[in-house]
Chain A
Amino acid sequence: MGLQNREKGLNEQCDNWDVQTANVGISTLIQLCQVPYSGQLLKVVSSAYSMSGSPIVGLQIQRFIAGSGATTIPLNGSSLLTMTAFSTSGILTHAITGVGTSLVQLQSGDQLQAVTSGANTAATYAFNSIIQCLQDFKTQYGLFSGN
């Protein structure tokens, strides 16, 4: 019988989404991931290069529900991350709501995003988002193995 998600160790149930964005300006929306399955967001780390100013980055989820429209769910509250350069601090970890809380529970089709604020020009950002699949049998956008 094929290996299923529930038979994996917790760390093996995680997927890593890797995104780079160049020339990020002020109040820019950066798309990090379109969630393929029910899961939870465990961690987001980022690094910044060639910075000008001190940009602030927050995380949010946009969820679309037919009939209701899109809802934006901020994940950081007031704990937005002030970016420093990779050469100054290495990778930075975003403070997000704790594992298991409802805010970090994701659904298939959710859009995970970062939004910048504060003064910032000509920076390059790299983001890595770790999402744990919580399904016994993993699906990708509704596709079950064998589809």
Chain B
Amino acid sequence: MALVNRDKDASEQRYVFGDANTVVGISTIQYGFIAPCAGQLLQVAQAAFGLSGSPTIGVQVQRFVVGSGLTTIPLNGSSLLTVTAFSTSGMQTQVLPAAGATLVQLLKGDSVQLITSTANTAATYQFEMVFQVLQDIKSDYGV
């Protein structure tokens, strides 16, 4: 029988979405990924280069529901990450609610985002987001 998601170990059910953004300013939203199916966000790791100032970065989910519109769900609460340069601290990880918590449960079509605040100019961010598929048989946007 063909291999499907439920046959995999939890560590094999995970997918990494990443990207790099240049010249990230204050209060800038960086778009991480669109959840392809039901799952949970496990980890967000990032590295910053060419920093000016001490930016803080939070993680949020934007969810669009037909009839209700858009909802923004902050994941960090007050525990925003103060970014330091890769040359100072290496890769940094965001403080997220624990796996299994409602806040990190994603639905198909959710947009996972990073949002910067406080002083920050001319930085480059590289981020990677780890997403675990929770479906028995994985789908990608319905296919």
Q: Which residues of A contact B (CB under 8 A)?
A: 3, 7-12, 14, 16, 18-20, 22, 42-43, 45, 47, 49, 86-87, 89-91, 93, 124, 126, 128, 130
Q: Are A86 and B64 in contact (CB under 8 A)?
A: yes
Told that A12-B2, A128-B140 touch, could you supply 17 new A-B pairs with CB distance under 8 A? Answer: A9-B2, A9-B3, A9-B137, A11-B4, A12-B138, A18-B18, A18-B19, A20-B30, A43-B141, A47-B31, A47-B34, A49-B31, A87-B70, A89-B64, A90-B109, A128-B34, A128-B141
In the bound complex, what is the Cα–Cα distance between A87 and B111 (angstroms)? 11
Residues of B within 8 A of A10 (CB): 2
Query: Which of A12, A45, A124 is within 8 Å of B34, CB to CB?
Result: A45
B75 within 8 A of A: no
Residues of A within 8 A of B65 (CB): 90
Query: Which of A11, A126, A130 is within 8 Å of B137, CB to CB?
Result: A11
In the bound complex, what is the Cα–Cα distance between A11 and B133 (angstroms)? 12
Query: Closest residue of chain B to A8, judged by CB?
Result: B3
Q: Are B15 and A7 in contact (CB under 8 A)?
A: no
Q: Are A128 and B138 in contact (CB under 8 A)?
A: no
Q: Are A91 and B109 in contact (CB under 8 A)?
A: yes
Instruction: Please report the number of residue pairs spanning A and B whose Cβ atoms sit closer than 8 angstroms.
Output: 87
Residues of B within 8 A of A87 (CB): 62, 64, 69-70
* Shortest CB distance A89–B (Å): 7
Q: Are A126 and B34 in contact (CB under 8 A)?
A: yes
Chain A contact residues, majority secondary structure = strand
Residues of A within 8 A of B4 (CB): 9, 11-12
B29 within 8 A of A: yes
* Shortest CB distance A77–B (Å): 20
Residues of A within 8 A of B29 (CB): 49, 124
Q: Are A7 and B3 in contact (CB under 8 A)?
A: yes
B49 within 8 A of A: no
Query: Closest residue of chain B to A44, judged by CB?
Result: B141
Could you write out 8 A-B pairs with CB less than 8 Å apart? A14-B140, A16-B15, A20-B19, A86-B64, A90-B66, A124-B29, A128-B33, A130-B140
Query: Which of A42, A89, A126 is within 8 Å of B140, CB to CB?
Result: A42
In the bound complex, what is the Cα–Cα distance between A43 and B140 (angstroms)? 8
Residues of A within 8 A of B5 (CB): 11-12
Query: Closest residue of chain B to A125, judged by CB?
Result: B31
One digit per residue, 1 when the CB lies within 8 angstroms of any chain A CB and 0 when it does not, for chain B 101-143 equals 0000000010100000000000000000000000001111111
